[in-house]
Copies of this chain bind each other. A is one copy, B any other.
Amino acid sequence: MAYLNENYLKLRAGYLFPEIARRVKAFCDANPEAAKRLIRCGIGDVTEPLPEAVRGAMHKAVDEMGTREQFRGYGPEQGYEFLRQAIAENDYRAHGIEVSSDEVFVSDGSKCDCGNILDILGDRNVIAVMDPVYPVYVDTNVMAGHTGEANESGAYGGLLYLPCSEANGFVADVPAERADVVYLCFPNNPTGSVATRAQLEAWVAYALKHQALLLFDAAYEAYISEPGIPHSIYEIPGARECAIEFRSFSKNGGFTGTRCAFTVVPKTLMARTASGEMHPLHPLWNRRMSTKFNGVPYIVQRGAEALYSIEGKSQVAALISHYMGNAKILREAAVAANWPVWGGVNAPYLWVRTPSGLTSWQMFDRMLQEANVVITPGSGFGSAGEGYFRISAFNSRANVEEVARRMAALTK
C-alpha cells in the first residue's frame, strides 16, 4: 500500500496567499457592488506591461522556433550560455563581484529554487529563518520533514526563529545558537527592511565560524535605492565559501507570469556528510537540475536576456521607478494616517503597524470591508508579524492614489 509523506499533514491551513484569495472571493461574492471597487495590494504581483525589449526578443524567438534551422529542442538544464553569461557579467562582474557563468543556474522561479534547494541538503541541519518570514522557506522545510508540529501561533518545532522587530529594524541579529542553514532575504519580504554591509558581514562571519550555509534571497535587489546597501551577498568577502544567492526576473522585469529566475552556487561552497567528509555543493545542484528539471523555455530565456540590453535596462529602470513612486505615495499616506510604517524605501513593500491594537487578520478584514483594499496580514508571515500588515506597491498609479485616499477616509 502506498505511503504518503506525512509531513504534509503538519502544514497549517492553506499557504498564506490562497487563504487571502479565499477570503477575498467570499467577500466579493457577498458584496458584488463593493467588489467592483476592490483594489488588490495583497500578493506582491506586478501589474505593468512586460517591457518592449522583452516582447521583441520573445517574438523573434517564437519565429526562430518556426524554422528547422533555428528550432531549439531540449536546452541545457542549467540555462543557455547566452543568459548565464549576461547574468554573470551584468549582475556580478560589472560590480566587481566574482561569479562565473557556470555558477549561475537559470530556473523557472526563486520560489521553486528556495524549495528545491533542500533536495541537496541533509536532514540533520538546524534551520534558521527570520520571523516574520516568507512562508515558502518554512513550508518547504515542513514538507521535507525538518520540523516538528506547529504550535498555536503557527511556529514549527525544530526551526530556529530569528525575531525581527521594531527594536532591530526588522533585520535579524546573529543568534547565540549555532544554525547550519540560515535563510536571509534582503530587501526583505514582507517587511521591506534591508541589511547594511556591517550586518551582512556579521552574518558571513557567523556562517564561516559555524561552517553554516546562508540561503540569500535577493529577489527584490533591484529596489534598493540607498547607496551603500549591498545588492548581493557576494559583495561580502568570504560569502563565496558560505552562501547561495537566489535572484529573479519577476520583480525587476515583470516576469511573475513569464517565469525566469536564477540561483548562484559558487564552486567554492562546501558542505559535509555525517562522517565529516567535505563535498562541494555545485555538482549536487547541477545533478539535481539535470535530473529533475529540463530548463526554462528558450523563448523565455531570450526574453530575460533582453532585460540586459540598453533598452531593456532602461525599461526595467522605468518599471522600478514607477513602483517606487507608488511606495512613496503609500508611505506618505500611512504617515498621514498616523500608522507607524517601515519599508517602501529600498523595497516595494510597506510594513505597517495596525492601529488600535487590531490583530493582523482583523485589520485585513477591516481594510477589505471598509476600504475594499486587499492587504496581507502580518501574522501570515509568522508570529512576529502579528500586529502588522504588508501593503504592496505593485499597482497602477491611479489605484495607489485611490488607496491613499481610502486610507485617509478610514482614519478620519
- Which A residues contact B (CB, under 8 angstroms)? 1-6, 8-9, 11, 15, 18, 43, 45-50, 52, 55, 58-59, 62-63, 65-68, 71-75, 108-109, 111-112, 115-116, 119-125, 136, 139-140, 143, 180-181, 210-213, 254, 256-259, 271-274, 279, 281, 284, 287-288, 290-300, 396
Contacts and interface: CB of A to CB of B under 8 A. Distances in A.
Given A65-B257, A71-B49, A122 B55 contact: no
B256 A6 contact: no
Nearest to A273: B6
Contacts of A11: 287
A13 to B, nearest CB: 11
A143 B115 contact: no
Contacts of A180: 1-3
B259 A2 contact: no
Contact of A71 (B50, B72, B288, B294): B50
B9 A279 contact: yes
Given A62-B59, A74-B43, A125-B3, A143 B291 contact: yes
B47 A299 contact: no
A73 B5 contact: no
B120 A4 contact: yes
Contacts of A45: 73-74
A46 B74 CA distance: 8
A196 B40 CA distance: 53
A68 B322 CA distance: 14
Contact of A213 (B2, B211, B288): B2
A293 B5 contact: no
A337 to B, nearest CB: 28
A43 B5 CA distance: 33
A254 B71 CA distance: 10
Contacts of A43: 74
A297 B259 contact: yes
B122 A6 contact: yes
Contacts of A213: 2
A256 B73 contact: yes
A378 B47 CA distance: 50
A45 B77 CA distance: 14
A4 B272 contact: yes
Contacts of A108: 108, 293-294
Given A6-B274, A290-B15, A49 B73 contact: no
Contacts of A115: 291-292
A136 B112 CA distance: 19
B49 A58 contact: no
Given A257-B72, A279-B9, A297-B257, A211 B1 contact: yes
A229 to B, nearest CB: 26
